[in-house]
Structure 1
Amino acid sequence: MSDITLTLERSIAAPPEAVWRVLTDLEAAPAILSGVTRVERLAGVGYAIGTRWRETRTMMGRDETEEMEVVGIDEGRSTIIAAEARGMAYRTEFTLDPTPEGTLLRMRFGGSLQSPSWVQRVVAKLTSRLGMAVTRKMMQQDLDDIARAAEAA
């Protein structure tokens, strides 16, 4: 299995504008997202297509740093972030939909092996269930952290 896709959503008792501000404030990410320990801006000002940064997360007891880039924006409604690491290409899309109670925030994460060898395909198949469980937990925590910050604003 070389491709993975996972979609989670979270209702937030805050307007989309408040959620968008939290979602796009890169410098505040370590204070908002409990899994993120450090952010280092590499390119761009504010939050725009082409903005790049290094993000360090603690996952399974280890620090992992990946370079990320904003590759799509529909201001206030959605954004797409891309990353590549260890032969995998990742895309994370956040979509904000207004609701009577506030905002429905949807997070869609996808990853695919780029030119995988047969060994990489076998390893991916053997570890996919664990990887999906870890990814789901991390995504849910991010959504909960974003909701907490937006609702407190």
Structure 2
Amino acid sequence: MDHTPQVTVVTVERRIGAPRDLVWEVLTDLHGLPGTLSGVVRVEVLTEGPFQAGTRWIVERRMFGGAAAEELWVTACQAPSRYVVEAETRGARYVAEVTVREAGPGETLVRTAFSAGPPRGRAGALAGLLGGLGRRAVARALERDLADVARAVERRPDGA
């Protein structure tokens, strides 16, 4: 029997009509997330300073008719092109890698790869994690987040 931990990945992309640096600024403005992302109720930033590896925060999101809070932390950051955020909650480890790259004059391509699996150091697979309906729900949530970012960036006076 294979005891290799199962990891499921959901990837979404979106072109945004604004320069990369502006898109990066909106994506990494933790204090502004409740006003940017429609699914975010509240953010509590736990570390001081710029968005970088080691930055931690608690985000409360509307999910499945309720709200859930979880602590997130940045494990890698190469501004303004890539960051990785992780969380461990409810028996799973989540990793989101966000890449931001120029896609033409005044256009940016944002790609989010979201993976879920067992917490570090734990064996076994999480049966059904992000399978079927769960995978589609995660993809829809990521697509909604990127649409919210696009609206926020494109309505700013310093946008494209």
Q: Do the structures match in fold with TM over 0.5?
A: yes
Identical pairs, percent: 36
Gaps in structure 2 of 5+ consecutive residues: none
**Match of 1:109?**
114
Aligned-pair CA distance for 1:76: 0.6
Corresponding residue SS for 2:18: coil
**Match of 1:146?**
149
Decide which structure has greater helix share.
Answer: 1
Q: In the alignment, residue 54 of structure 2 is paired with which amino acid?
A: G
4+ residue runs over 6 A deviation: none
Aligned-pair CA distance for 1:129: 1.2
Q: Is the 8 A contact 1:2 1:125 kept in 2?
A: no
Corresponding residue SS for 1:125: coil
**Match of 2:40?**
36
Superposition RMSD in Å: 1.7
Q: C-alpha offsets along residues 90-129 of structure 1, whole Å, 9 cap, x if unaligned?
A: 1111101101241011011011123366xx74xx328721
CA 1:141/1:18 → structure 2, altered by over 3 Å: closer, same or farther? same
Aligned residue pairs: how many?
149
Corresponding residue SS for 1:46: coil
Normalised by the size of structure 2, how large is the TM-score?
Answer: 0.87
Q: Is the 8 A contact 1:87 1:116 kept in 2?
A: no
Q: Distance in 1 between matches of 2:40 and 2:6?
A: 26
**Match of 1:5?**
9
Q: Distance in 2 between matches of 1:67 and 1:110?
A: 16
Q: Is the 8 A contact 2:8 2:130 kept in 1?
A: no
CA 1:127/1:44 → structure 2, altered by over 3 Å: closer, same or farther? same
Q: Distance in 1 between matches of 2:75 and 2:64?
A: 28
Gaps in structure 1 of 5+ consecutive residues: none
Normalised by the size of structure 1, how large is the TM-score?
Answer: 0.90
